[in-house]
Amino acid sequence: MDLFSHQSDKDRRGQPLAERMRPTSLQDYVGQEHLLGPGKLLARLATGGRLPSLILWGPPGTGKTTLARIVASQRRADFAQLSAVQSGVKDIRAVVARAQTRRDQYGYGTILFIDEIHRFSKSQQDALLPHVEAGTVVLIGATTENPSFEVNAPLLSRCRVLRLEPLSDEAIRALVARALSDRERGLGTLGVTIADEVTDQLIERSAGDARRALNALEVAALIAAPGTQDGTDEGTEGGDAPGTERVITEDILAEALQQKTLLYDKAGDEHYSVVSALIKSMRGTDPDAAAYWMARMLEAGEDPRFVLRRLVIFASEDVGNADPQALVLATSALAAYEFVGMPEGVLPLTQLVTYLACAPKSNTALTTYAAARRLVREHGALPVPDKLRNATTAMQKKMGHGQGYKYPHNFDGHYVDESYLPEQLEGETLYEPSESGAEAAVKERLARLRGGDD
C-alpha cells in the first residue's frame, strides 16, 4: 500500500506549505544523517528486517511525523495516527481491532503513530502495552520531551528511542530552495525571489525547525506582492502576470515572522535545559551567558517569579556565606519585581543575575545540610544532652536539665570550648567553610576558636 500515491495536488491545496512539502521517500528526506545515512539504523529498519517499536524524540519541526509516514510507506504497512491530546483508550482499542483484522485477513502490518506520546496518561499507555508487546501494532511515538521522564517504563522498554536533532542550516537552506522551485507543491509558480542574506535571516530565526521556516516563507511570499521590490503593488487577478516576481525583503520577512517564537516549553525538556544553562552560567561566573539565558526564559513568556525563585535558591546554594549579601539582594529583587511588575521588573532581575554570577561562590549551605541529614538518617533521633535542655520547672531542674551549661556571654570573646552535639556525635564536623569571599574569614575564625586546627 502506497499511502501517498492517492493524494493529488488538488488534495493538497489549502494545506500549509510545510504540509505540502512533506517528503514521501527517504531519498527526499533532508537531515538526520546520523539515523538515515548509509548503513545507519533507521535507514536499515525502514527497508527490511523486523521493525521494532520506536520513540522519535526531538524538537518541533525535525521530521518525526514525516519519518513515521515514510517508514510505513517503505514497509507497505497500514498507517494509523492518533493524537495523544485528542485520543483516549476507546480510540486505541478501535485501532487495534482494525489492525487485527488487517493482519488476519490480508496479512498487512499496522504502524500506529502517536503524536505527543508524552501526553498519554498512564491508563492510555497501559491499554496500549499488551498490543505492542504482542506485535499487533508497531508503535512509533513522537515526543518533544525526554521519554525517560514521560513514557511508562514497561512501554519504554519495548521501544527503541531515536533522538532527532534540530536541522542544520544547510538542511533548512535546501528545504527553502526546494519549496521556492517546486511548481506543484511549493511556491514555484509565484516567482518568489529572496536574497541570500534574507535567507540567512530566515534560517537563523527558524532555529532548526523546518515547519517554522517553510510556514514563514509562505507568509512572506503572500505578503510580497508581485512586480515590486517593496510589496506595495497589487497582483493581477487570478494569479501573477508573466514576468512578475515576488521579492521577499528583510522588512517583509520581519513582518511574516512578527515575533521570534523561541523554542521553550514551560513544562517540557527544553524548559529544564534553559534553566540548567542559566544556573551553570552563574555558577561558572559568566554574567554574559547568565543574562542571555535569563532573557531567553523571559522573552519566551516564563513567569518572572519562577526565575526569581531559582535565583533566591542559587543565592544560598551556590553563593551562601561567601557573600551573605547575595541572599539579601535576591529577596530584595523579588520584592522589587512584585512592586514594579513587568516590563521594568527585568531591571532588578538583571541586576540580581549579574551580581550572583560575579559573586564569590560557596556551596557549603548544600554540603552542610547534606552532612547533617546523613547523621540524622544514620543515627535517628538521638537524645538532647541534659545540659542543653530547658530547666524552667523544679522537676526539670531535679532531672538535671541545664546542669553544666556554660553561658558563652559570660566568657572572654563570648565563646566557650564546648560540644553541643549529641554525645554519640561529638567530634563530627559538618560545616567546612570555604576559602571563597567572606567565608574565608569565617573559616579563619572557626579555626582559631577550635584551637588553630584547619
Q: Which of 74-83, 266-275, 289-298 has the lowest mean pLDDT?
A: 266-275
pLDDT tens, position by position, 119-140 = 888 888 888 888 888 888 889 9
Per-residue 3-state assignment (H helix, E strand, C coil) for the chain: CCCCCCCCHHHHCCCCHHHHCCCCCCCCCCCCHHHHCCCCHHHHHHHCCCCCEEEEECCCCCCHHHHHHHHHHHCCCEEEEEECCCCCHHHHHHHHHHHHHHHHHHCCCEEEEEECHHHCCHHHHHHHHHHHHHCCCEEEEEECCCHHHHCCHHHHCCEEEEECCCCCHHHHHHHHHHHHHCCCCCCHHHCEEECHHHHHHHHHHHCCCHHHHHHHHHHHHHHCCCCECCCCCCCCCCCCCCCCCEEECHHHHHHHHCCCCCCCCCCCHHHHHHHHHHHHHHHCCCHHHHHHHHHHHHHCCCCHHHHHHHHHHHHHHHHHHHCCHHHHHHHHHHHHHHHHCCCCCHHHHHHHHHHHHHCCCCCHHHHHHHHHHHHHHHHCCCCCCHHHCCCCCHHHHHCCCCCCCCCHHHCHHHCCCCCCCCHHHCCCCCCCCCCCCCHHHHHHHHHHHCCCCC
In this predicted structure, what is the pLDDT of residue 278? 93
For 381-449, the fitting CATH number among 1.10.10, 1.10.287, 1.10.3710, 1.10.1060 is 1.10.3710
The model's confidence at residue 40, banded by pLDDT at 50, 70 and 90, is confident
**238 vs 44 pLDDT, higher one:** 44
The candidate with the shortest Cα–Cα distance to 353, out of 318, 379, 384, is: 318
Output the CATH code of domain 169-257: 1.10.8.60
pLDDT tens, position by position, 51-110 = 888 999 888 888 888 888 888 888 888 888 888 777 788 888 888 899 888 888 877 888
Neighbours of 438 (CB within 10 A): 16
In this predicted structure, what is the pLDDT of residue 318? 93
Residue with cell 559570660: 410
Q: Does the pLDDT at position 7 exceed 80? A: no
Q: What is the mean pLDDT of the chain?
A: 82
CA 65 to chain centre: 20
In this predicted structure, what is the pLDDT of residue 24? 85
Output the CATH code of domain 32-163: 3.40.50.300
Cell of residue 433, nine digits: 567553610
pLDDT tens, position by position, 331-388 = 999 999 988 888 888 999 999 999 999 999 999 999 999 989 988 888 888 888 888 7
pLDDT tens, position by position, 306-320 = 899 999 999 999 999
Q: Which amino acid is at 231?
A: G
Domains of the chain, residue spans: 32-163, 169-257, 269-358, 381-449
In this predicted structure, what is the pLDDT of residue 453? 47
Q: Does the pLDDT at position 444 exceed 50? A: yes
In this predicted structure, what is the pLDDT of residue 233? 42
The candidate with the shortest Cα–Cα distance to 175, out of 12, 28, 70, is: 28
Q: Does the pLDDT at position 427 exceed 90? A: no
pLDDT tens, position by position, 168-191 = 999 999 999 999 999 888 888 888
- The CATH T-level fold of domain 269-358 is Zinc Finger, Delta Prime; domain 3 (1.20.272)
